[in-house]
Amino acid sequence: MSFIRAALIAAVGVLAVGCGADSGTTAGQPAAIASVHVTTTPQPSPVISQPTTAPKPITKATPTPTRTTTTTSKEVVELRTIPFKKRTVTDDSLAKGEKMIRTAGVNGTRRLTYRVTFVNGVQTAKHLLRQEVAKEPRTQITAVGTKVDEPEQSSGCDPNYSGCVPIASDVDCSGGSGNGPEYVEGPIEVIGTDKYRLDADHDGIACED
């Protein structure tokens, strides 16, 4: 607006000068008015740059899923072995130190029932509810011999002859010419070796005369 006002003032001044200079004009005639065309060019307003701020991205909140806890429980049965016991007895019908199993041992079985708790499939607790013997064990019995064999007593008779021919350094037939120290009455059958030479004719019968 200031620029336009200054232009108008300048135009008026030009008109005034023009009128004074033409002193030779005829009085009573209007003075010529110069045509003035004023062109006003609008000046662009200064552009004030504004800081550019990038828009913030809109973040949508993701809802947190709700975790469901599942708790279950069930009864579980376990079997445990009950070892059999051993017992030893003496037996005088067996030789001393000899052993013999009279009754074979058999293991028993124990049944245990538990309450097992699971949380989301993972075992968290285990409680014993009851226990019982499903099968009784059988004790093993072993006999140990105590018998001591006594040495056989000699009968005093030589086994090479029937009857009883005494065992001595020498035996002769009674009534013969032998000098003993032991004598035997015949006839006697020789069933082994005629160690005392009582069968003179070797017919198997000793002291037959």
* 85 shares its domain with 127: yes
Residue with tokens 């030479």: 197
* Residue 145, strand partner residues: 91
CATH number at 87 reads 2.20.230.10
CA 107 from centre of chain: 24
Average pLDDT per consecutive 10 residues, the chain (209 residues; last block may be shorter): 53 46 44 49 56 65 78 96 96 91 96 96 95 96 88 72 87 81 86 87 84
* 140 shares its domain with 166: no
pTM reported for the whole predicted model = 0.40
* 76 shares its domain with 143: yes
List the domain range (segments joined by +) for residue 139: 71-147
Q: Note the pLDDT of residue 22.
A: 45
Q: Note the pLDDT of residue 50.
A: 56
135 vs 106: CA distance, rounded Å: 10
Decide if 98 is inside a domain.
yes
